[in-house]
Chains A and B, each alone.
Chain A
Amino acid sequence: EVQLVESGGGLVQPGRSMKLSCAASGFTFNNYDMAWVCQAPKKGLEWVATISYDGSSTYYRDSVKGRFTISRDNAKSTLYLQMDSLRSEDTATYYCARHPGANWGQGVMVTVSS
């Protein structure tokens, strides 16, 4: 069974950093591109970033370029999202997903507030 388990969310002040992790199991992690998708409270889904199966290519939505970094450790079957210079508008539940959305984690809440 495919499992994606996110961790690392919480409350953070504007301008600070936070790193999310997603532990994958039940499939051959290094065969698949992976993605982060977010959902602001009571809003729709927004794609954040995707990383290729080997980490050689990354893609970001414009609003997070230069602030967020997606990465992966295939030896640990883990996906990461480093979020820097956080803004209030980054407040959302962040899901990791097997690109583009075949499987999803349970999500982790990130609240950016002073």
Chain B
Amino acid sequence: DIVMTQSPSSLAVSAGETVTINCKSSQSLLSSGNQKNYLAWYQQKPGQSPKLLIYLASTRESGVPDRFIGSGSGTDFTLTISSVQAEDLADYYCQQHYSYPLTFGSGTKLEIK
């Protein structure tokens, strides 16, 4: 199974700051066939269902603000949230869908000071 190691587990920032969340996979998520990384990022606000933010490591889902940026390749990935806003209070998860069983990172709780 591919293990997804996500860090930090929590962080607290002030509105306007930039946040970086890291996700490392135990195996490469890069497909040699199409050169795509099968890594997604989700946001889960309190009491809500998860919402897809980023897919294929760096493609923003429609309607997601451009302050959410996904980057990385192979085994190391990053979600950057620039100019954090109060509405970004949420848990964030990475997920690999390169191979079964699909696996998620343990999550990052983002708090706004």
Contact = CB atoms under 8 A, between A and B. Distances in A.
A and B bound? yes
Interface in A26-46: 35, 37, 44-46
A99 B103 CA distance: 13
Counting chain A CB atoms within 10 Å of each CB, the highest count among B44, B55, B103, B104 belongs to B104
B107 A101 contact: no
Contacts of B52: 101-103
Nearest to A44: B107
A45 B50 contact: yes
Contacts of B67: none
B49 A45 contact: no
B104 A45 contact: yes
B51 A62 contact: no
Contacts of B77: none
B60 interface: no
Contacts of B50: 37, 45, 95, 101, 104
Contact of B42 (A45, A61, A62): A45
A101 B101 contact: no
Given A44-B106, A95-B49, A105-B49, A100 B95 contact: yes
Interface of B: 40, 42, 44, 49-52, 55, 61, 91, 93, 95, 97, 100-107
